Amino acid sequence: MNEQLKKYIEGENWSFYGVIKYDELKDKLKEHEKHFEQWEKEGNAGSMEYLKNMQKDRFHPENKLPDINSIIVLGAWYSDEQKMCSIEEGDAQVARYAVGKDYHKVLKKKLIHLSDWLKEQNPLADTYISVDSGPTVDRVLAEAAGLGFFGKNSMIINPSKGSYFFIASVMTNLDLEATEKKRMPNCGDCRRCFDACPTGAIKAPGKIDANLCISYLTIENKEGIPEELREKVGNRIFGCDICQEVCPFNIGRANKQEVLIENLKGKYGAGEALDLKEILSMETDEQFTERFAGTPLMRAKRRGMIRNACVVAGNSGNKELIPYLEKVIEREEDGMLRGHAKWALGKLK
């Protein structure tokens, strides 16, 4: 079965995978649940209440699949060459993971294929699939399955491929053979991600304060971006890769890795650079949907993207953006958006 599984997974263009026995994961999940509770109690989750609400399912997979026996954990490479944008030219940078089509949809489809294939092989197979928004602790699963190690930036880093990959999983009642785990390195004395994070979001090794993380501020956060953090957002309009860009496990390797799943490439989605003039001019939700439907950017909605565009515009030093910001103030009734546009104008004038 495992040889066939390997062939099937490779044929489906997953970058790598591992299989874990659920029994061997239980203690690890217990330990991580305590760690998560402490992290959440300290307020590091910001407004992401869904993490607490899903805690019971995320750390107890038998809630979703009572006869769970094994978990197949898959990695999908999402970044090869990245065009770094020039903020002075009015471009805003989209994080690598979000440049293509919505990875939830793209990967879910593949997980359904894998699940169907397992059921063809064994009609008694039962499965539960998950990626990112599902009730699983993806990094804990990936580490246990040997896809990589926990970096100080909290990413799962694969020693030969770096950290620019998605994690997805299929739980099953099938008794699959666990894959062999290789010895993993660790970050050692390296502190590059700590030093590079502009907002100081990495509080301790593996511990991110989401309230300070540019990824959270520009995507999950539904309020304004705190004024003292706006300059630090730089030209990042959706998500942030700084703690990965400086990682020695990514430098020099990232551009040599090939994105195997075509739809994750920038040419099928929003791409790497957004034109601030275009975003600031989006007057309606319909316009926004027409432009970004089927991409991860939908998560921030038009409101979030205009807020982010104002911040990046304010940081750009580009006076050509002044009339676009003035239009936002004229057009929008939302106090949060008007406030951000005013802040940006203050910076540019």
Q: Please give the structure tokens belonging to residue 81.
A: 């060459």
Give, for 168, the enclosing helix (H) or strand (E). Answer: strand 165-172
The minimum distance between CB 233 and ligand B12, in angstroms, equals 12
Per rule CB under 6 A, count of chain residues that contact ligand B12: 38
Nearest residue to 72 via CA among 124, 120, 28, 128 = 128
Residue 167 binds ligand B12, judged by CB under 6 A: yes
Interior CA angle at 9 toward 51 and 270, to 5°? Answer: 55
Residue 106 binds ligand B12, judged by CB under 6 A: no
β-bridge pairing 207-208 and 202-204: antiparallel
The minimum distance between CB 23 and ligand B12, in angstroms, equals 19
From the list 30-38, 65-73, 266-274, 340-348, the region that binds ligand B12 by CB under 6 A is 30-38
Output DSSP code: residue 217: I
Residue 26 binds ligand B12, judged by CB under 6 A: no
For residues 225 to 264, the per-residue mask of contacts with ligand B12, x marking binding by CB under 6 A and - elsewhere, is: --------------xxx-x---------------------
Which residue in the set 21, 203, 207, 331 belongs to the binding site for ligand B12 (CB under 6 A)?
207
From the list 84-92, 165-173, 291-299, 327-335, the region that binds ligand B12 by CB under 6 A is 165-173
- Of 7 and 181, nearer to ligand B12 (C-beta) is 181
From the list 63-71, 153-161, 176-184, 277-285, the region that binds ligand B12 by CB under 6 A is 153-161
Residue nearest to ligand B12 (CB): 206
Crossing angle, helix 322-331 and helix 301-316, to 10 degrees? 150
Residue 129 binds ligand B12, judged by CB under 6 A: no
Kindly write down the DSSP assignment for every residue of 175-198, as one continuous string: -PPPPPPPP----TT--HHHHH-T
Does 80 qualify as catalytic in the annotation?
A: no
Which residue in the set 19, 74, 145, 210 belongs to the binding site for ligand B12 (CB under 6 A)?
210
Amino acid identity for residue 86 in this structure: S
Output DSSP code: residue 81: S
Which residue in the set 15, 163, 199, 308 belongs to the binding site for ligand B12 (CB under 6 A)?
163
Residue showing tokens 């007057």: 283
The dihedral sign for the CA sequence 102, 105, 109, 115: positive
Q: Please give the structure tokens belonging to residue 179.
A: 């894959």
Residue 140 binds ligand B12, judged by CB under 6 A: yes
Residue 138 binds ligand B12, judged by CB under 6 A: yes
Residue 155 binds ligand B12, judged by CB under 6 A: yes
Q: What are phi and psi of 103, to 5 degrees?
A: -65, -25
CA 181/CA 193 separation, integer angstroms = 26
Q: Which of 132, 138, 175, 275 is catalytic?
A: 132
CA 132/CA 18 separation, integer angstroms = 17
The minimum distance between CB 44 and ligand B12, in angstroms, equals 7
CA 176/CA 157 separation, integer angstroms = 25
Active site members: 132
Which positions lie near ligand B12, rule CB under 6 A?
31-32, 35-36, 39, 48, 51, 95, 97, 131-132, 136-140, 150, 153-156, 163, 165-167, 206-208, 210, 213, 215-216, 219-220, 239-241, 243
